[in-house]
Structure 1
Amino acid sequence: MVDRQQEREHLILADQHLAAGKRRIAKQIILIQNMTQRGQDTTEAKKLLQNFEDTLEIWYVHRGLIRDAIGRG
């Protein structure tokens, strides 16, 4: 049996994580742009950006699973 209230709380938390992840990605993009303008090596910064983006994608899937659980509850 799905505890709808608990799943709603998980959904709120998932939304907060997604918002924070989007902010991290935006900041990382700006950092990479600034590094590029200064002629700095952006290899590691770009790898980190990719990790952020991959994580965000997983979080979206997780959010979808939570919504599905609420819908089945």
Structure 2
Amino acid sequence: MTNLQQEREHLVLADRHIVEGRRRVADQTKLVETMARNGQDTVMAARLLRTFEETLEAWLAHRRNILRALDGR
């Protein structure tokens, strides 16, 4: 397998992770909002949301790195 093929496979995987990450962030955001409306403690749910957001940002940065590698930079 060439480097180019490997980077393309990494890009496909990164895209899947990003889609899943965005879904998790959206779902967790809704959960935190619902909990807040219901007067429930949202501290742990909000912390988990922040973790999901940070992970998504890391995946987006990784995707940018893959694209740079594919561009030859």
TM range (shorter): over 0.9
In structure 1, what is the equivalent of residue 4 of structure 2?
4
Q: Normalising to structure 2: TM-score of the pair?
A: 0.92
What stretches of structure 1 move > 6 A for 4+ residues in a row? none
Q: CA deviation at 1:14?
A: 0.1
2:70 paired with 1:70 = yes
In structure 2, what is the equivalent of residue 21 of structure 1?
21
Q: Normalising to structure 1: TM-score of the pair?
A: 0.92
Query: Which of structures 1 and 2 has the larger relative contact order (alpha carbons within 8 angstroms, sep 6+)?
Result: 1
In structure 1, the gaps of 5 or more residues are none
In structure 2, the gaps of 5 or more residues are none
State how many pairs are aligned: 72
2:20 paired with 1:38 = no
Percent identical: 49
Aligned-CA RMSD value: 1.3
